[in-house]
Amino acid sequence: MGAPHAAADSAIQPDPTGSLLFSRLVKNADGSLKTNGTGGYHVVTPYTDNDITRKVGRLKTDGLCTASVLDTPSGTLAITARHCTDGAEDRIDAGRATFTPGWHEGQRPYGDWVVDRVFTSDAPVDGSVPDVAVLAIRPTGDAGSRRVVSAATGGGLKVHPALSSTQTVQATLLGYPGPAPYDLVRMSACVGDYTYFPGKGRKAVHRITTQDECWVGGGSSGGPYVTGTSAGPQIITVLNSNGGSAISNVSAALITDAESWVYNKYPDLVRKPGDGLPSTGSDGSSALSFGS
């Protein structure tokens, strides 16, 4: 039996023993897991010591959210929730929106990276515009010596193929919530079992009906729900509120459009082996984009 879980919380949580990041959850002196009182766990620092948490970071647009580096050929893309970029067009166009992977209490182990452009889709999924955005992260350096964000973080995460309504996966939600004890500077983790609820819009991917979602608060929006697979950790959705949209098909289309834009703007970038794309294909929708 593993360490005691968050049974004392107001939102009783499933036992996280054996979950993807269980070894990275902070424990109290008595061996119980340290929580925020509503089901959120604390993540062991430094985040750079773990292959998943180093790829997650703070996203600063007109507000503060969470984003994650994606595994794509260009190595320049990240993923977040669309609502984290809505209304931030001017800031992004001016090159003042930034992504900081591994962010912790003011420390920027990989630096601040400028958001070059945002890709979203207005094509409805499960009756709602999907709450997902793909970010093109500006490379540093000049032609011939550019460095991309995934080179700094040791790669990125893939998007999981679409879940079916009969499929359940255990996933860990990571983010940078505003409410104490996280205060926008510490990473939270929530662990639960997730499935697909057709027609539920921006909450189509959420916990099974016998489990309550944890609560960590704003700032964690856009954070990845990461599950373990034989192909490595993958993102099943990004946080809207108590779950997220079914993002697999639409994210494939957004990634394809974003990669094309990146290579047009930075033709000297070297493509890394492998496609890094979701295996679910495109939903046929056209992407909307804004940025420099």
What are the per-10-residue average pLDDT scores of the chain (292 residues)?
45 88 97 93 98 98 96 98 96 96 98 98 97 98 94 98 97 97 98 97 96 93 98 97 94 97 94 52 50 66
Q: Are residues 145 and 260 in the same domain?
A: yes
125 CB burial (10 A radius; 0-12, 13-18, 19+): buried
Instruction: Assign residue 207 the CATH number of its domain.
Output: 2.40.10
Q: Are residues 145 and 205 in the same domain?
A: no
Q: Are residues 147 and 218 in the same domain?
A: no
Decide: 225 and 238 in contact? Cβ < 8 Å.
yes
E runs forming strands in the chain: 41-42, 56-60, 64-69, 77-80, 98-101, 113-120, 133-137, 158-159, 169-175, 188-196, 205-207, 224-227, 234-238, 288-291
CA quadruple 208, 212, 217, 221: dihedral, nearest 10: 0
Round to whole Å and give the CA distance between 139 and 111: 12
Q: Are residues 252 and 146 in the same domain?
A: yes
Q: Are residues 149 and 259 in the same domain?
A: yes
Q: Are residues 201 and 182 in the same domain?
A: yes
| The predicted structure's pLDDT at residue 278 | 44
Whether 283 maps to a domain, the answer reads no
Whether 112 maps to a domain, the answer reads yes
| The predicted structure's pLDDT at residue 144 | 86
Q: Are residues 77 and 136 in the same domain?
A: yes
- Per the structure, the complete domain to which residue 167 belongs is given by 22-49+160-238
Closest CA to 67 of 113, 100, 93: 100
Q: How many domains does the chain have?
A: 2
Whether 88 maps to a domain, the answer reads yes
| The predicted structure's pLDDT at residue 274 | 52
Instruction: Assign residue 138 the CATH number of its domain.
Output: 2.40.10.10
Whether 201 maps to a domain, the answer reads yes
Whether 187 maps to a domain, the answer reads yes
- Looking at the DSSP assignment, which residues form a beta bridge with residue 288? 120
Q: Are residues 77 and 141 in the same domain?
A: yes
